Homo-oligomer: A and B are copies of this chain.
Amino acid sequence: MAKAAATMHGQRTPCQHCPLRSLPHFREFERDELNFISGFKKGELLVDAGATIFLEGAHSAHLFTILSGWGFRYKTLEDGRRQILNYVMPGDLIGLQGSIMGEMQHSTEALSPISLCVFERTELMTLYNSHPPLAFDLTWIASREERILDEHLLSVGRRSAVERAAYLIAYLHQRARALHLFNSSKVIPITQQHVADTLGLSVVHTNKTLKKLAARKLLLWQERGCEVLDGDGLAELAGWDGLDSGKRPFI
């Protein structure tokens, strides 16, 4: 199932030349902050599509920032039922929950090949001591995740199947677009099984639901993913206001 290949490198991209920092989506950093983070970064990690980055129950010594690629966080029940909680994309810090509170209570898997910046959990407290604005950013990052989960919960709990699907695709589209991820592929690299497990639906019903959206010319389902034709139309159908457009911090 999961090809668990992972390769560790020494530091390749220095934070000062991080390709993500030039995106208008992220806030600017002080030189001092940048230097600190560069020292905080221990190296880079490459994982294959399908690889598990974190497993529920683990106590990881590391946390990561996604440099490139797509992945998702999920939880499972004992009998195998799976719920996808959220998707991770470049600039996202993963493993913070586990680093702050101890044990990881969800798993994280790669949807595409992913490259990661590696940080060490034990050095987190140094960050809090020496760089209060970065500490604030960490709380900001956790609050943002909370906010997104609020919206997902509203979606799964109260939106109809069509609305839910429309919301999910609109959400992924907005995030990916802000990160300029559609320069090469234009396709969101998920299967209908992923959509089903995110929306709390069966694959069969998900398939029929996506067909309805395709019939309305809102999206197109390709091999290995989804192409968005009308992101605003999807958001409107879902009754969703869209994401914050302001700049956000990242570590």
Contact = CB atoms under 8 A, between A and B. Distances in A.
A19 interface: no
Interface in A106-132: 106, 125, 128-129, 132
A17 interface: no
Interface string A193-204: 000011110000
Interface residues of A, number: 49
Number of this chain's copies in the assembly equals 2
Interface stretch (A36-44, A150-158, A178-186, A218-226): A150-158
B157 A101 contact: no
B105 A150 contact: yes
A159 B106 CA distance: 16
B154 A153 contact: no
Most chain B beta-carbon contacts within 10 A, residue among A78, A150, A152: A150
Interface stretch (A20-28, A136-144, A206-214): A136-144
Interface stretch (A6-14, A79-87, A169-177, A227-235): A79-87
Contact of A105 (B139, B145, B147, B198): B147
B200 A144 contact: no
Given A85-B150, A132-B135, A142-B142, A157 B100 contact: no
Given A132-B129, A136-B128, A158 B200 contact: yes
Most chain B beta-carbon contacts within 10 A, residue among A138, A140, A143, A153: A153
A2 interface: no
Contact of A143 (B82, B97, B125): B97
B149 A150 contact: yes
A45 interface: no
B156 A153 contact: yes
Interface string A56-88: 000000000000000001010111011101000
Contacts of A101: 140, 143-144, 147, 244
B77 A146 contact: no
Contacts of A100: 136, 139-140, 143
B156 A77 contact: no
B244 A158 contact: no
Most chain B beta-carbon contacts within 10 A, residue among A75, A199, A246: A75
A150 B85 CA distance: 6
Given A125-B132, A135-B128, A156 B159 contact: no
A77 to B, nearest CB: 5
Nearest to A138: B139
